[in-house]
Structure 1
Amino acid sequence: MFQECCSNNIFSQHYEIVAHVGSTVTLPCWINPPEKAEALEIRWYRHDQFSNPVLFYQHGKIQDVQEESYRSRTLLTLRSDQSGGLKDGDVSLRLEKLTVQDEGLFHCFISGESTYDSGKIVLKVTALGSAPVLFPQPLDDGRVNISCRSSGWYPEPNVTWMSDERTVLHPGGESRRCGADQMFSVHSWTVVSHSDAQLVSCSMSLKTGELKEGKLNIQAFISSDSSDPWKALFFIVLICALLGLVGLILYKNRHKLKVVGDTNMEELRKHAEQITIDREHLHPGLMITKNCKFVRDAPDYNHTGEGFPYQLCAFGAQRFTSGRRYWEVALARENLPPKIYWLIGVAEHGRFRSKDRSALTPSNGYWFLCSDGHKGFYTNTETPVTLSLMPRPEQLGVLLDYDDGQLSFYNVKEKKHLLTMSTRFTGSVAPLFNPGVGDESPLIILDRPEPAESPVESSQPLLINSSDA
């Protein structure tokens, strides 16, 4: 009845399929010519794990016998919209939330009363890492040592250094590290001079052709020619003159600049969303109001650690997969000082279990700006960026540009742009909030923003997070 895969009756459409970490993939397998498969035994398994299957279908239903790592991640599906499913012999496997460990050979085994056969499919898993970040270090001889770092890659990426004329530059060295999740972090460096290039790029790529690239203009870091003091003097005078001209223009147009700031804020608010907190994924050490807008640490929460309480996360109930989305958060109440402990950003949907700082990285689906008291402000980029924000924000605006891969923060009352993080979002993302511990003021998610006003006080009591809340 059945023959060897791809020769007569059982077909696998692609011998090799490539998919990204975290994605969902369909491994196609079907009987040809079409034949009802409801009464057959269908077993998907890996390597020599026949008795410990990825999925096992028998007696008209999926059985509970299954390799533990695939539980709740697999089901039988249609290989195409035109497929009739089991009644037409389509026994394709849907595999969700791909991990690096899923890479390898999958067997599709079908058996009837007296006959059986199997097919094979190779699954290749890839992970596109973070955008390379370049750091310059001027050397005493006038050259610049440039380091390039990126993480979250699988398999190991190729590293290429190039000049602005697309000339390949030779790396000075390279180090690679494989984490517990089998993802690779790469650090490469090179030394360049004025004659080598003005703009240097570092790109990391996979064999699939996918790549991430970072660029750096090195001219500001190249030492001036000390043998020509008149040239140096000329540039100093020119720079001073330009700074004076810019200052004069800013002074004369100071009122116009304020209008521009107002206009920009109004432009941001055209993308405003109504954000509320998701009760189902709220840390038990937090309490919120009934309208799911105010959140703070519970009175009985005991923070045992010395650092910021990264585990005290709350998530927005809204999920976004495209477009520009904007919301605002109040960090101060009337007659109270601004909050000094908070964490605000976005997280991939499903990333609801956070334990410590090391797990809250862009490669793990978190992007945020954190205020850690007297330790200052910093981002969670692979190489953290520390900021000096004065005055301390009392009302923070957040703009998510999903399609362009950007997350921006604004001081609403000062009408200032603070920071933009660049990345690549995959899947749905949700707003992320953490009120920290010890502040008098709660963290307040404002209603769909109108022209900036003081945050409205809430008469609603804060409720302890519990299952019956």
Structure 2
Amino acid sequence: MKILSSYESSRARSCLAHFIIFSLTCYVHKLESAQFTVVGPGRPVMATLGGHIVLPCYLSPSMSAQDMEVRWFRREFTPFVHLYRRGADEFGQQMPEYHGRTELLTDGIMDGNVDLGILNVRRSDEGQYHCSVQDGDFREEAVLELKVAALGSAPCISVEGHQDGGIRVVCQSAGWYPQPQVLWRDPNGQPLSASIETKSEEEGGFFKIKDSIVITENSNKNLSCSIRITHMDAEKQSVTFYISGQLLPKPHSVIPTRIKNQVA
């Protein structure tokens, strides 16, 4: 009985020793996987159609991500937008629409910067992106949003005849995305009264704008038209438009009106 008891005691000590070794191994492995937070921008990133954009992402606290897995993806983990693993880029399961257009910017990777560059920005690039960083069994990610805009043609101002006791002036432009806002301004840059009509048509995914305003005898005769994308704070402005001559038509007569364009 003493021999059996001694055997059981020895076996118990052996099991305990194996358990301690196993626990220590797991703990050391966990320590080897760095603990960090992945941080993205706090607001949407703005890009211009056809341009180059950088999606910012970094580790906090600052540490090297050179030997970690960095994966940028959209809705699905795979296929991905860009994958960096074991110190090199991998393109085997990259989304076809991103082939040849992405680059992990490794200049700051030793400090935990894992920014992604996208070339020749397309409308389809707009939306959410996940910046995922994995070290061993530990993985964290940040979600950021990319907004894409296309700046259309320079606004063109023209006159479309008399209306409501004044002259109807029209501002037109095409090739905008998303739908822009039209602003009429006086020579001091102050907004004029609201336009009387705005027409917006979508052609091939881009917007064509036609906006009208009526200039009366009491209106400011010098004006310009600006078309802007509000969330990007980007706009294009027409030349300043000068109108001279009597605007109010007299009964049974036609009043000649002299109109000219001059660059602002």
Give the TM-score normalised by the residue count of structure 2. 0.71
Matches within 5 A, 1:57-206: 57-64=84-91, 65-78=93-106, 84-85=108-109, 87-139=110-162, 143-164=166-187, 166=190, 168-180=192-204, 182-206=205-229
**Cα distance in 2, alignment partners of residues 16 and 227 from structure 1:** 58
**Cα distance in 1, alignment partners of residues 233 and 71 from structure 2:** 34
Runs of 4+ residues deviating >6 angstroms? 226-229
**Is 2:217–2:246's contact at 8 Å kept on the other side of the alignment?**
no
**Cα distance in 2, alignment partners of residues 26 and 228 from structure 1:** 62
Structure 2 residue matching 1:69: 3-state secondary structure: helix
Cα deviation, residue 192, structure 1: 2.2
Cα deviation, residue 45, structure 1: 0.5
**Cα distance in 1, alignment partners of residues 233 and 58 from structure 2:** 31
**Is 1:131–1:150's contact at 8 Å kept on the other side of the alignment?**
yes
Cα deviation, residue 90, structure 1: 2.6
Matches within 5 A, 1:443-454: none
Provide closer, same or farther for how the CA distance between residues 140 and 167 of structure 1 changes in structure 2, counting only shifts above 3 A: closer
Provide closer, same or farther for how the CA distance between residues 76 and 212 of structure 1 changes in structure 2, counting only shifts above 3 A: same
**Is 2:150–2:175's contact at 8 Å kept on the other side of the alignment?**
yes
Q: CA RMSD in A?
A: 3.1
Higher strand share: 2
CA shift digits 1:258-290 (9 cap, x unpaired): xxxxxxxxxxxxxxxxxxxxxxxxxxxxxxxxx
Paired AA for residue 211 in structure 1 = E
**Cα distance in 2, alignment partners of residues 179 and 126 from structure 1:** 15
* Residue 222 (structure 1) aligned with residue 247 (structure 2): yes
Paired AA for residue 129 in structure 1 = G
* Residue 12 (structure 1) aligned with residue 23 (structure 2): no
**Cα distance in 2, alignment partners of residues 29 and 224 from structure 1:** 63
Structure 1 residue matching 2:97: 3-state secondary structure: helix
Q: Select 2:77's aligned residue among 15, 32, 50.
A: 50
Paired AA for residue 110 in structure 1 = V
Aligned residues: 221
Provide closer, same or farther for how the CA distance between residues 84 and 146 of structure 1 changes in structure 2, counting only shifts above 3 A: closer
**Cα distance in 2, alignment partners of residues 20 and 221 from structure 1:** 43
Cα deviation, residue 196, structure 1: 2.1
Partner of 1:210: 234
**Cα distance in 1, alignment partners of residues 244 and 155 from structure 2:** 20
Q: Structure 2: give runs of 5+ residues left out of the alignment.
A: 1-32, 257-262
Cα deviation, residue 220, structure 1: 5.2
Cα deviation, residue 21, structure 1: 1.8
Matches within 5 A, 1:312-331: none
Structure 1 residue matching 2:152: 3-state secondary structure: coil
Cα deviation, residue 203, structure 1: 1.8
Structure 1 residue matching 2:211: 3-state secondary structure: strand
Paired-residue identity, %:
26
Provide closer, same or farther for how the CA distance between residues 143 and 110 of structure 1 changes in structure 2, counting only shifts above 3 A: same
Give the TM-score normalised by the residue count of structure 1. 0.42
**Cα distance in 2, alignment partners of residues 163 and 15 from structure 1:** 33
Matches within 5 A, 1:347-362: none
Cα deviation, residue 25, structure 1: 1.5
Bigger Rg, which one: 2
Provide closer, same or farther for how the CA distance between residues 173 and 60 of structure 1 changes in structure 2, counting only shifts above 3 A: same
Paired AA for residue 141 in structure 2 = S
Matches within 5 A, 1:17-36: 17-36=45-64
**Cα distance in 1, alignment partners of residues 163 and 37 from structure 2:** 71
Of the two structures, which has the highest relative contact order with CA contacts closer than 8 Å and spacing of 6 or more?
A: 2
**Is 1:106–1:122's contact at 8 Å kept on the other side of the alignment?**
yes
Cα deviation, residue 135, structure 1: 0.9
Paired AA for residue 71 in structure 2 = R
**Cα distance in 2, alignment partners of residues 74 and 189 from structure 1:** 43
CA shift digits 1:146-198 (9 cap, x unpaired): 11101222221111234457462232211112232x32211111222222231
**Is 2:34–2:135's contact at 8 Å kept on the other side of the alignment?**
no
**Is 1:107–1:118's contact at 8 Å kept on the other side of the alignment?**
yes
Provide closer, same or farther for how the CA distance between residues 96 and 14 of structure 1 changes in structure 2, counting only shifts above 3 A: farther
